Chains A and B, each alone.
Chain A
Amino acid sequence: MKFSYLKIGILITCFLLSATVRAQVKKVTGTVISDQDGKPLVGVTIELKGKKSGTQTNENGEFSIDASPGDVLVVSYTGYSQKDVKVGSSSTFTLVMKSDVGKLGEVVVVGYGTQSRKNVTTSIAKLDKEVLATAPRANIGSALQGTVSGLQVVNATGQPGANPVIILRGGASINNPGAPLVVIDGIIRSYSDIASEDVESIEILKDAASTAIYGARANNGVILITTKHGKSGKAQVSYKFTQGFNMRRSGYKYMDARDYIYYNRLGNLNSGRTYGQVNGSRGYGLLTDSANLSSFDIRFYNSTTASLLSQGWDTVGDPYGPSTNYLTGGKPDSSNISGIIIFKNHSKEIENLVFRNTQTQDHYINVTGGNDKGRYFSSFDFYKEPGVIVGSDYKRFSGVVNGSYKVRSNVEVSSGVTLSTSSQLGVLNGAEINTLYRSLAIWPTFNPWLDAAKTLPNPGNSATDGNPLYWLGKTDRSDENNKITVNGAVKWDILPNLYIRATANAYMNEVLDQSFTKATQTYSNIFATTPSFNTSRPATSTYSRDFQQQYNAIINYTKQFGGVHNVSAMLGTEYFGIKSFGMQVAGTKSPTDDIPTVNASTTFTSNTSTDPNNPNNNYSIVSQYRIISTFGRLSYDYDQRYLFTAVFREDGVSSLPTANRLGFFPGMSAGWNVHREKFFQNSGIYKVISTLKPRVSYGVNGNVSGLGRYDVQGVYGAQGLYNNNGAFLFTSLTTPNLRWEKSRTTDIGADIGILNNRITFIFDYYNRKTSDLLTNLSLPSYTGFNTVRTNLGTLQNKGYEFSANARVIDNPNGFRLNIGANASYVKNKILQLPYNGQPNNRQGGLQVFDPKSGQLIWVGGLQEGQSIGDIYAFKQVSIFKDASEIAKSAGNRVDLVAGISGPNSNYGTGKITPGDVNWLDVDKNDTIDNRDQVKIGNIYPKWTGGFNANFSYKNFSVYTRFEFALGHTIYNDLVARTLGNYQGTFNYIELQKQAWSPTNTNTDIPKVYYADQVAAPLGKKNYTRINNANANLNSNNSQFYEKGDYLACREITLSYDFDQSLLSKSKVLSQARLFASLDNMFYITKFSGPTPEPPVAPGTSTITGVYQGTYPTPRTIVLGVQVSF
């Protein structure tokens, strides 16, 4: 193998070789203090310009260095402007460092190093510290919501501890959404289970010139998280306690039992269901067996049941009228002569069992300290958040210890360990829609309790159609996720300008899940003459472990030549390896409820999964993955005016075929600090524009994350058993020609500061073309495989990003107001898809009539030249008011979808009747079919962003943070599903009361029917259209596609810092702060559901656009206190 960087490496190595030494004359001493509060600064670097000697201030801010007159002391400290001081005759100095507040002076982590924002020429965002300061966070990913331009962060679920979906610049993939690479203190790992207080900074590398340093994994951006490390100075102990009060976000209102019975029976009547059929239905029917009588509080009203009125029951007239209308067995049913039904209202009882208000607790303590030789940091966090949906609890313990020590004056050794153990259970049965739809829409006549004292929950018909407390009680679940990182590093300053740093780290992530279901019953089992049980008692224990090792070494050289040429070069190499092990034992038919572990099981089934990566039943599985890399960075600037940076990375990865294994990813960027030019400073404009840095970057990076570890080699996978014979088949094609995905990004931006940087703007335009996308090609049937992975996709994302910050009022001891805002716009376009012989190489999609051209056109699906995520559906023009309107506008209409027709047509088995939807006949051919669909919107937000404001006055401060997303459309399957009565017996939401009726003809809600999806003549398909009640995005009724645009109030925090004078009296406390915060208080949106965020397929990061009920993020009130000793 040949490595193309070899030459570069040697050049850089040679470049480093020049260092001269001169004699010294006298000792110079001094103190460095801050301009902010006049306090000494510890650890300030003092170097002699152009020489190798240097020192740092001690814990009193004092330093001492040998220097000759005429030498220049270069004094630098993070967060402060660099200061150059000429050594004259004086030998003691008091140096006041000017704080470099504001966005344009911050230090940013850039991957294997740091840079000052002043020199940054790529697109890197840094998270405001304020965001992490207050609210307790089960997952730090939520801090990124609305705070970083270019990042779209979606709460896929409000389940505590869950990772949000993070998409950078619209994502770089057509059908394998990728998440940004997360690097925490150099370790590639998950960001879940990290205490937010442990985080020092979060940076997001966005353009390819900045992410190229992470090469093959950086296609979707890089999130760099730096945690807190020891600081020299007096030892300090901090403790923070926060208590959150979580409240459910209110959702749809379901009908009470009276309306439920009335509208469901009316729907049955409208659909022509017989008296027997309606009464044979659960919930609103009048079944007379013991199970139903015991579980459903609904009866005929007659002399026997009338007494129930005194026990809180109520009556409602039956739309079917008296049973005398319906002869059963040749005679009227005497039980319901009255035509009245008596019932008890159990509405909201299940809802109130499912949802609860909970309390979050977070205790955090840390200790830090050190001197000029050694530093240490240690922290411990306990976090507990019971979910607002019963059963979905999250708990975490985490601990950090790290330290560093200078074993020689030029050798520093550091090491650290982090540990976390967490438990995240999720809702029962895993599927949140079961809770958000089935549990809430459950029959309001169902009594969730078997006994009057409400101690015995009624299981209902199944885990999703009953009292969830029964099923929670029958399920014994535990979950444990342990994450351990260990790292050690040696930094050797060979010369003042040159160091080598070698790092080794290991990360172990293990998950242990156990679950056991006791013998269960349904309500019909319980009330049967001989009660029976389901005694399969499945027990499962699953263990998985990823053990990851990373070793890297970098050599770094920084040098100034001739006072104006600043050069910094870094070269490194890295080994990354991960070994995974997973196993499961799963048994059934334990003889007892008393042993939850698998040892009591008696039946064990072999793996029958045909996917070797996702075995089922009993298995153990191992796999490995490695990447070996070389990388480097060269930065040059001329007098901090002309800036240039080049980076590269070469990765070799084990999951690619040998011939295509190496990928080379370069990045280049350049910038111009115009404000440092004399001509600019001399012009009047400098008084207004204090910083102006246009910059441009170009780079290439890659991705292979969509590729399984051994996919390219082809798979012969186990197929379970056939008559006790083990079976194998060829299940995955060999793909020996696959190679890297490559993203090429051009980024043009500018950093602008106005009025001495009181107002700052950062702007970026980018154009990213991802080619060789690892894209699935759907194969023709005859090949015997559904899809093959190809490199044939190209996707373009273009967009703009803005962020602005302003210190509007800045009165050091009085009123201060800072405002920040960011916004980003993104547009996707598919440029290339794998060839399949179709126009635009279309995959999927629909054929609709295009009124402009008068032709049939293919829309939706994936097509070259089109964007992703467009929605098409049948347009509801109106609801037919009456027969005359139908005769007038749809007399000859044939609705091929529903199988019904207008009065003048003989087609189909049913008729269009008043209260049905008047569909838009796009091609005006009197036939409603697939072709009559129109574009409704797109599932992806176009604009995302947020803004914040920070007011402070004396010891009080208020911080507010808002987030928004605009331009996405959501298909509200939940509303369509309930109104359309797809399930047949469940409750309606209140909206159903607006349905068409002979007395309410002016409405946009169709007439009430039983089960919209069933065949004509009884079903009308007013809701689901061609989808048979499946939750598909396209081809439903346009009425139920809603704009998702929202503005969310993420945080409002009020805090009070105790006076220093007061604290000093305590002689113990050095800092104390009280705060109260309102988190996720409200969304301003037109979307009718509780959460307008783009719906995500559960357990994935794929935005589906179909809302089926999402676990709503709770509203939280937080109280907290933070003290330091």
Chain B
Amino acid sequence: MKKKIILILSGLGLMLAINSCSKKLDLAPVSSISDANFWKTPDQVDAFVAGIHTAFRNNVGSFQYLGEMRADIFGTDPGSNSAFTGEATQGVEKLWTNTLDGNNAGVSNFGNFYFNINQINLLIKKLNTTNLVTPANKNYYLGIGYGMRAFYYFQLVRSWGNVIIQTDPVTRIDSFNLAKPASSADSVMTLIKSDIDNSVSSFGSDYSFRNQKGYWSKSATLMLKANVYLWTSYRGGGTADATVVLNALNDIQTNVSGLSLLPSYANVFASTSRGNSEIIFASRDLLNEASLPFANTFFPQTGLIANFYDSVNNRKFNVAIDNWGGLLRAPIKIATYREFSDLDSRKFVSIQPAYNKVAGVYQIAGAFANKYQGEQSAGLRVFTNDYPIYRYADLLLLKAEAEVILGQDPTNGINLVRARAYGANYNIAVQGYPNQAIDASPQEAILQERFLEFVFEGKRWYDLRRMDASGKYVFEYTNILSTDAYKLLWPIDRNTLTNNSALVQTPGYPKF
């Protein structure tokens, strides 16, 4: 009998062992934070706002691709299918040859912008439903959230036209019926404008910059506002929208002190002068934090560039200081380099030409981007330049453009930019507006000035698109024919179409 009891007890003991242990299965992560444990402290909110700026920084490559790779800047020179250094373009050429399709969409998955849009949606929702941070921070952060979201949608609508609007945060997937169609470009534009208004009103009178202009600010929202209304002024908004542009830019000039053009164009981009007086908002790339994502594509291999010469400084490139360390997939057309006047300081700051020396004579071989030189670190060049999103020269030229629409005189802004560019060489009678030949058309003048000023800042394609809704300037300056007007928008990559059965390919591009 005793044995029977032992048996029963041991059998039951086994069962009980488990029941007493089942609480042991509740384990919470230690090295990350679970959904249940976030949004509890002000620190977490601060870190989240820093987070959306890191995600913004991760999108810089897409901003650059969308903003100018399809325009008239990049390309291999006639007769060559590789960079002058011999590096193959490896498919990047489809951007500037404008041969994109669903296989090679240039920028896929909408630039991954929705990742940050979702984070921003979450931030806005949490800020509106909690009081974790001080009212001042809450308003500032809401200003950032609405402003940055509008910035993303403005990129999307200009690139793909109709796109999906998502303003609620996705934190879990409960239904797998996830197909969602795109909204019309008009309704996206409505959202952008309302987000801008929300951002402006959230910032209120707080015009301060944070993180050395590495954070989105009220001025950034106003710059975006100017961009957006300028875009719509060419698309039916007319002078009313152009007035909004002027007001927004005047608002910045009136309320933000210390904004000005730097005397030296080169210093605007140098990693040693972050957040300088010309910068309004830039994506920050500190050493050991981040570097420009497109550097590898834009800069040549060290060992290869060392075979060429720099005619301006009359020297051969050398591996110690010309250690670009990239794989030049996106060379600059020699023609682009030649667009600049030799007297224009922007020429050599922006573009580095490379020469062969044949029998003592320099012959140009090709060119590559020079604007972002990074810094030297332990024998390596690291591309730690901030990527400027908005700067004072942009403000001046946007203003000039609005003035043109409103029939006002754009001279002041244009000439401020030109005077800085030409520096000591500046002769208002020669280079000043309206004395250059191109100034006969104020629009063409501004278009060209923006090209020279903002090359490699992701603006050229949007400028060409903006100034004429029908694509006139795109057809004029790029290799896209007016019969291929569908190419004004970008194709959607095949995976993105597969993952959302309610999406359709951008009209004009092949569907298979």
Contacts and interface: CB of A to CB of B under 8 A. Distances in A.
Q: A and B bound?
A: yes
Interface of A: 1, 3, 6, 9-10, 12-14, 16-17, 19, 271-274, 276-277, 280-282, 287, 289, 291-292, 328-329, 331, 461, 494-495, 498, 500, 519, 522-525, 528-537, 553, 555, 571-573, 575, 577, 588-589, 603, 605-606, 608, 612, 620-626, 628-630, 652-654, 658, 661, 709-710, 713-730, 733-737, 777-786, 788, 790, 792, 834-838, 842-845, 847, 856, 861, 899, 929-931, 982, 984-985, 1011, 1013-1019, 1026, 1028-1029
A334 to B, nearest CB: 10
Given A652-B22, A728-B48, A277 B14 contact: no
A612 B57 CA distance: 19
28 contacts: A17-B7, A19-B3, A292-B307, A329-B358, A461-B301, A522-B319, A553-B17, A622-B31, A654-B27, A710-B29, A710-B34, A722-B53, A725-B50, A729-B55, A733-B171, A734-B172, A780-B496, A781-B164, A781-B500, A784-B114, A788-B173, A836-B500, A837-B179, A931-B512, A1015-B93, A1018-B81, A1019-B81, A1029-B88
A777 B176 contact: yes
A782 B164 contact: yes
A3 B19 contact: yes
Tell me which of B3, B44, B87, B319 has the highest count of chain A C-beta atoms within 10 A of its own C-beta.
Answer: B319
Contacts of B135: none
A729 B119 contact: yes
B449 to A, nearest CB: 31
A536 B377 contact: yes
Interface string B40-70: 0000101110111111010000000000000
Nearest to B110: A781
Interface of B: 3-4, 6-8, 10-12, 14-15, 17-19, 21-22, 24-38, 44, 46-48, 50-55, 57, 79-82, 85-91, 93-94, 97, 99, 103-104, 109-110, 112, 114-119, 121-122, 164, 166, 170-174, 176-180, 211-212, 214-215, 284, 286, 288-290, 301-304, 306-307, 316, 318-320, 323, 356, 358-359, 361, 363, 365, 377-380, 495-496, 498-503, 510, 512
A630 B13 CA distance: 12
Contacts of A1017: 81
Contact of A720 (B30, B290, B301): B290
A3 B18 contact: yes
Contacts of B380: 534, 536
Contacts of B359: 328-329, 331
A555 B179 contact: no
Contacts of B363: 329
A838 B500 CA distance: 8
A762 B3 CA distance: 43
Contacts of B176: 777, 790, 792, 834-836
A729 B126 CA distance: 13
B318 A1014 contact: no
A628 B57 contact: no
Contacts of B179: 780, 836-837
Given A727-B54, A836-B179, A533 B379 contact: yes
Contacts of A835: 176-177
A519 B211 contact: no
A23 to B, nearest CB: 19
A608 B90 CA distance: 28
Contacts of B323: 532
A729 B51 contact: yes
Given A535-B379, A727-B47, A984-B86, A782 B54 contact: no
B412 to A, nearest CB: 34
B22 A1 contact: yes
Nearest to B108: A781
Contacts of A1018: 80-81
**Nearest 4 pairs of A and B residues by beta carbon:** A784-B118, A714-B35, A837-B501, A13-B11
B14 A555 contact: yes
A929 B510 CA distance: 10
A128 B307 CA distance: 63
B19 A1 contact: yes
Contacts of B171: 714, 730, 733-734
Contacts of A653: 25
B55 A719 contact: yes
A449 B97 CA distance: 43
Residue in B14, B46, B50, B179 whose Cβ sees the most chain A Cβ within 10 Å = B14
A728 B379 contact: no
Contacts of B318: 528-530
Contacts of A1016: 81
B319 A524 contact: yes
B256 to A, nearest CB: 20
A836 B25 contact: no
Contacts of B173: 733, 735, 777, 779, 783, 788, 790
A984 to B, nearest CB: 6
A734 B122 CA distance: 14
A729 B54 contact: yes
B33 A716 contact: yes
Question: Of residues B212, B378, B496, which shows the largest number of chain A Cβ atoms within 10 Å of its Cβ?
Answer: B378
Interface centre among A626, A717, A730 (most CB of B within 10 A): A730
Contacts of B306: 289, 291, 524, 528
Contacts of A532: 319-320, 323, 379
B25 A722 contact: no
Contact of A494 (B3, B174, B502): B3
A786 B114 CA distance: 10
B118 A930 contact: no
B319 A9 contact: no
A528 B320 contact: yes
Candidate in A531, A577, A837 with the most chain B CB atoms within 10 angstroms: A837
A837 B177 contact: yes
Contact of B82 (A531, A718, A728, A1011): A1011
Nearest to A653: B25
Nearest to A733: B172
Contacts of A788: 173
B265 to A, nearest CB: 24
B164 A1015 contact: no
Contacts of A17: 4, 7
B67 to A, nearest CB: 19
B89 A1014 contact: yes
Given A573-B18, A713-B35, A729-B51, A785 B118 contact: yes
A931 B512 CA distance: 7
A535 B378 contact: yes
Given A710-B28, A733-B172, A778-B495, A524 B302 contact: yes
A621 B31 contact: yes
Given A715-B35, A782-B500, 6 more contacts: A272-B79, A524-B319, A555-B7, A573-B18, A733-B172, A784-B166
A9 B47 contact: no
B468 to A, nearest CB: 28
Contacts of B290: 608, 720
A612 B27 CA distance: 16
Nearest to B33: A716
Nearest to B182: A782
A424 B495 CA distance: 39
Nearest to A617: B288
B302 A522 contact: yes
Given A984-B88, A1011-B88, A625 B27 contact: yes
B26 A654 contact: yes
A532 B363 CA distance: 28
B15 A630 contact: yes
Contact of B378 (A3, A10, A536): A536
A721 B286 contact: yes
A282 B110 CA distance: 38
A446 to B, nearest CB: 12
B25 A715 contact: no
A624 B27 contact: yes
Contact of B34 (A10, A281, A716): A716
Contacts of A725: 46-47, 50, 211
